[in-house]
Amino acid sequence: MTPLRTRCAAALGTLLASAALGPLASPSAASQPRDLKVPSTAYPTVQSAVDAAQPGSRIVLRPGVYREQVTIRKDLTLTGAGAGKSTILAPETLVTGSDGLNSIVTIDSAASVKMSRLAVSGPGSGTCDAGALGAGIRVLGGAHLDLSHAAVSHIKDTPMAPCFRSANAVLIGDFPAGAGSASIRDSKITDYQGAGIVVLSADSKATVLRNVVTGQKSISTDGIEFVEATGRVERNRVSDNACREPDPGCGTDFFSDIQHAGVLANTGVTVTRNRLVGNQLGVYAFGNVETSHNTFVDSTYYGIAFQDGTFTSVKDTIRGGAGGVAVIASSVDTTARLDRLKTTGLSGDRTRTFECCGFTATVTDRK
């Protein structure tokens, strides 16, 4: 037999043996990422599907209301039928998580989770002493959230329970130490009891893009907060955040009163091309921050407040409301450069400085 015929015969023998024995050995089908549909006979709840899913799987939520808490500690994708059709709703009794908070959805243990076309909703029914709602979506333990075309709403208690660190719609990272990250885009964050989006600690970061973030008018709220964390806030509409009940002493004295803001930013946060409407302060910034191409409408106190650092405003527009830009020095000499700032219809000053404790506040206004 020639070498060519020998090779052909060997190949034919292998093919026949494979046909006789069935397909070549492969990893178990049960171990492969796949779609899991909820509800179904096998997976009546979202949590049952999460527990059964292999990392990398997709969980598909059919239209309906899922009254449960969900904890995710593996890489998964959760896709609903639409933010108004598939809703994960807070149960009547909430179970406390590892961080001491009661959250509706918790993402932990360095998991990377995509959530889209669904809603996460309260309210809760606890009190500050027992079982208040902690967060709509909680991201901690080095985990990452990719949230898009979704809604997080009614993150509050009935009756209201304005506790410390209570009822933030999306809460990322921990303070003073802890990590979490997120990309939040094209979503609606509304009717929260604390803040809309909160990013905590130097190891945490977030990109917040093209969202609608709306507080509610009966209690103190903030829109988007970065506390020592870094990130980008771009093309969002943030409205109706102010100092109200139960905070005492709300006012325009930055050394003795309390203020709330549409966006709270610190060094390492970029704030650009947002529309901020009806907030007490549009942006309240600390450290070294640049704002640019934002529009501030009808701010109760000031469109922008810059405190304790070096700041630049580039082509921002402030329309209506009380004051334009406040520059505050309480712990370091503070400078603010205003580059082509536009202001119209203000009832108060275009710029105002506040100084304390021997530190100076300086404004350079290039019109």
* pLDDT of amino acid 10: 42
Residue 236's Cβ-side half-sphere holds a number of Cα atoms within 13 Å equal to 30
- Between strands 70-72 and 103-107, the pairing is parallel
Separation of alpha carbons 60 and 221, rounded Å: 33
Amino acid at 28: S
* pLDDT of amino acid 172: 98
The CA-CA-CA angle for residues 110, 66, 179, to 5°, reads 20
* pLDDT of amino acid 176: 87
Distances (CA, A) of 263 to 55, 147, 233: 35, 19, 8
CA 75 to chain centre: 19
Distances (CA, A) of 323 to 14, 107, 331: 83, 41, 23
* pLDDT of amino acid 15: 35
Strand, helix or coil for residue 298: strand
Give the pLDDT means over successive 10-residue stretches in the chain (367 positions).
40 39 48 90 98 98 98 98 97 93 97 98 89 95 98 93 85 94 98 96 98 94 97 98 88 93 98 98 98 98 98 98 98 98 98 98 96
* Cβ neighbours, 10 Å, residue 268: 16
- Residue 133 in tokens: 């709602």
H-run or E-run covering 320: strand 317-329
Return the domain boundaries, the chain. 35-238, 242-367
Closest alpha carbon to 231 in 207, 263, 199: 207
H-run or E-run covering 19: helix 3-21
Classify domain 35-238 at the CATH superfamily level: Single-stranded right-handed beta-helix, Pectin lyase-like (2.160.20.10)
DSSP assignment of 168-221 equals EEEEEE-SSS--EEEEEES-EEEEESSEEEEEESTT-EEEEES-EEE--TTS--
CA 312 to chain centre: 25
* pLDDT of amino acid 207: 98
Strand, helix or coil for residue 367: coil
